[in-house]
């Protein structure tokens, strides 16, 4: 699918220099993907990204910063003892990878999000046109 979210095409596997670093970041992403509390908070950010895409106000830097900040607060809370402490650059790499996954799911997830907005009567005709453009990509 086309890169709509503007992330750097950096799969963690190809981005990292060493297998040890990939294992550390890949494992961190895997742990975060499987944590219910993190996922519930991440879902809020994901919905904001979808809404900003439909509004035409999407900003890649804000999205990456929001996700990496969420990772930071989750690590700081100490709720998962298996998650290693990551530097800001590593958190940004994990956030970028999460955006990459989000972009891959965009064609199926965004219409469902728009449908929920439509049910709440918050989907404008302009948002509907943007949705059609994005889904065609």
Tokens 């728009």: give the residue.
Answer: 114
pLDDT 10s digits, 100-118 = 888 888 878 888 888 888 8
pLDDT 10s digits, 47-70 = 999 999 888 898 889 999 999 999
Question: What does each C-alpha distance from 84 to 15, 32, 72, 134 come to in angstroms?
Answer: 19, 11, 11, 36
pLDDT 10s digits, 16-59 = 444 556 678 888 888 888 888 899 999 999 999 999 988 889 88
């Amino acid at each position: 699918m086309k890169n709509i979210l503007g992330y750097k095409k950096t799969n963690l596997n190809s981005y990292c220099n060493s297998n040890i670093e990939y294992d550390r970041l890949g494992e961190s992403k895997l742990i975060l993907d499987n944590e219910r509390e993190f996922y519930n908070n991440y879902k809020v950010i994901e919905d904001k990204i979808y809404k900003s895409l439909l509004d035409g106000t999407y900003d890649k830097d804000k999205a990456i910063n929001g996700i990496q900040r969420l990772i930071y607060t989750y690590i700081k809370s100490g709720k998962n003892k298996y998650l290693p402490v990551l530097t800001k650059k590593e958190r940004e790499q994990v956030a970028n990878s999460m955006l990459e996954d989000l972009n891959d799911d965009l064609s199926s997830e965004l219409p469902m999000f728009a449908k929920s907005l439509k049910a709440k009567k918050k989907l404008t005709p302009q948002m509907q046109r943007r949705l059609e453009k994005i889904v065609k990509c």
